[in-house]
Amino acid sequence: MVKKYTLLLALCLPIASLADEGMWLINSFANVYMQMKEKGLVLNPEEIYNQDGPSLAGAVVAVDGGMGTGSMVSANGLMITNHHVAYGDIHALSTPDKNYLEDGFWALERKEEIPIKNKSVTFVRKVVDVTDEVMFLMDSIFPTGRMGPFGARRVYSLVEKRHAQAENTPYEPSCYSFFKGELYLLFYLDTYTDVRLVGAPPERLGAFGGETDNWGWPQHKCDFALYRVYGDLDGRPADYAPENVPLNPIKYLSVSTSGVQDGDFAMIIGFPGRTARYQSSFSVEQKYQIINPIAYKSRRDLLDVMLTRMEADPALRLLYADKYFSISNYTDYARWENICLRRYDVAGVRAQEEMKLQQWIDTSPEHKETKGNLLYRLAKGYAARAQAIRERTYFQEAWFRSGELYPAASRLNAVTMNMTRRNIPSVQWNDSILTFFVNNADRLYAKADWSTERDCFIKLAPQFVANVSDDLRGQQFKELIEQHNGDARALFTWAADNTVIRIREVLEHFFSTPRTVEEIQSDPMVALVSSVTALSFNNKIQEIDKTLGWDTDSLETLYARMIYKMRKDQGVAQYPDANSTMRFTYGTVGPLSALDAVHYDSRSTIRGYMEKYDPDNFEFRVDNKMQTLIKAADWGRWGEKGELYVNFLTDNDITGGNSGSPVLNGNGHLIGLAFDGNRESMAGDIHFHPQYFKTVSVDIRFVLWVMDKYAGAGKLIEELTLVRE
């Protein structure tokens, strides 16, 4: 039986005409549905997902292609998601004079709403099983089974094009693979691009606790933001235009004001990005031993440089706020993921299942002949690759992601490659071949502080030199470091201080006269970048595989498929890894016993704001207005027995992409927004632990209180359908 904790059974399951794999999943869904009913679900399956009529799924949208999740909450196109999903938009709109990150933003009139360039929200309108069709095309086009890196995409495009033409659909068909190619589903997507910011609390509410509280509990974040979705006069997607009208969605969510209690049913619908729960023990060990430690150290060093600068200069804090937020989120995750991988012995759990897999393979003559040495080869392949993977990770983290200097120099190097390919002897400032580079450089100068970028590069790049062998660094790189007596820090300081990219005026002056390929490549940063390429690291790994006689990555994919086949053969219900398609998870509200003698309640209250308040800590600021409101304790209709609850815990199963997902009660009414996991769940992308995995959500009543009492945005509340059970 699928436990109530398990993640992401596709919402498209209760549909007709599925192939064998899809029908097997429907049977699994039937078992899950009965468990949901026992826990408090009141709805019928078609009220959760129904492609022929209104359902909860019809109110849930992928934000920016799945970077987050939102939900429609009014008949006038109002959409709610997390503040941190909207953070990049709020940051981009903020200026020192109109700092929406600091002050918040509220559009109480439609004319005040701000269109967001390149913003999109996507509805799932229909899902069709195309497994047989995809597999037929793969066998026809690639009879040897070797598709290459873009082979699957080629097949998907053919399927998508055929269905779009045959049905003359207004929606965009998009094909996705499940269970590493055992099941293929075609999602019909409806994407709206006229999306306008309506409301967001200031960062000190929306991100209260900042990096310190990230992934922790208890939290006290008012993590929400509001947008409005617009369409043309017929309600169809259209680019921004003043005459566009708010979308009247097929379905929007009602909002519950009843609150939550321990044991209450909770369901989450959203667009989780990626999980790896069919990963081998060898792959888990690689992440634990190599990838996460390097990523954490490199990104922590990067953040420390940025934070020092940000704390010294409010203008730099605004400039780097979005970038710092993005980097810090994964940095903390990598650290806690390793703690959880060790604590729950995830590699050991996988190894135990691999013993069962080997036994299952050995019982089948066919499997034993073709896959009998699968685990042996995986073990040998990962061991042989370990040093090469370590070096590639240092290239990615300490070199490629060392800040903005590397990508800027890489783009300038691309200009020289273009010149060589087109046989152009020289270029200067106004030549069209420089246009793309100059435009990107201008954006860089606008969004980055060069002194900060210099310090980031000098801090990280020496780690690359110390941990990557000479054979992966080109001749020019070797010559330059020899010129600096092997002192990597001295080399990178010289390169950063002398590159023409460092200042726009210097760059423009450099190209004021025609420059040859040789002159451009003599720039110290271009020389370094062109001398070290990702191709050399990938080639080294491929050479190792060639020596072994097999592709370890392909064996990892085969392993996942064999685990799936074994579980299916043994009647073990399972779910596909997340891949940014719509999924749901259900569970209950409840407390957390995190460690021996450490117990947390399931709900946090407004009291936490003043308990954590620290005027000297940017992350724990509480402004005068909030302090006055808290002291007055006027919770209005949003309180409960004299308390105002802020965040709560459920044992739902989410991952990145679920941010902003609606948390729904048994009647399908909105009770909160998912925004985080707890630190004890940080192995969740690889392994779900039913006892410790928790989802952190903002109580919708706290959202309404902030809109009502703090922001004075009662007019927006009037758009909502409030219910009290």
The predicted-structure confidence for 573-591, as pLDDT tens digits, reads as follows 788 999 999 998 999 999 9
Which of 675, 669, 668 minimizes the C-alpha distance to 650? Answer: 675
Q: Residues 402-405: contacts with CB within 8 Å, 24+ apart?
A: 402/302, 402/456, 402/457, 402/460, 402/461, 402/464, 403/302, 403/448, 403/452, 403/453, 403/456, 403/457, 403/460, 404/444, 404/448, 404/453, 405/453, 405/454, 405/456, 405/457, 405/496, 405/499, 405/501, 405/525
Domain membership flag for residue 499: yes
> How sure is the predictor about 29, in pLDDT bands with cuts at 50, 70 and 90?
low
Domain membership flag for residue 257: no
Continuous segment of H or E residues that includes residue 227: strand 225-231
Q: What is the mean pLDDT of the chain?
A: 93
- Determine the average pLDDT of the residues in 316-336: 91
Cα gap 206→210, rounded to integer Å = 9
Give the total residue count for the chain.
725
The one-character DSSP state at 400 is: I
% of the chain at pLDDT higher than 90: 87
CA distances for 716 relative to 110, 228, 346, 619, angstroms: 11, 11, 46, 28
> How sure is the predictor about 25, in pLDDT bands with cuts at 50, 70 and 90?
low
Domain membership flag for residue 81: no
Domain membership flag for residue 172: no
Domain membership flag for residue 480: yes
Cα gap 220→304, rounded to integer Å = 25
* pLDDT score of 302 more than 90: yes
Q: Catalytic residues, which ones?
A: 84, 223, 659
Structural contact between residues 204 and 622, judged by C-beta atoms closer than 8 angstroms: yes
Domain membership flag for residue 182: no
pLDDT value at residue 3: 34
Q: Cβ neighbours of residue 560 under 8 Å, at least 6 residues apart?
A: 179, 180, 278, 279, 280
Domain membership flag for residue 351: yes
Structural contact between residues 264 and 577, judged by C-beta atoms closer than 8 angstroms: no
pLDDT value at residue 51: 86
Q: Cβ neighbours of residue 568 under 8 Å, at least 6 residues apart?
A: 24, 574
Lowest mean pLDDT among 234-243, 566-575, 580-589, 601-610: 566-575
Q: Total structural domains in the chain?
A: 1
In terms of residue numbers, what domain contains 494?
282-541
Domain membership flag for residue 568: no
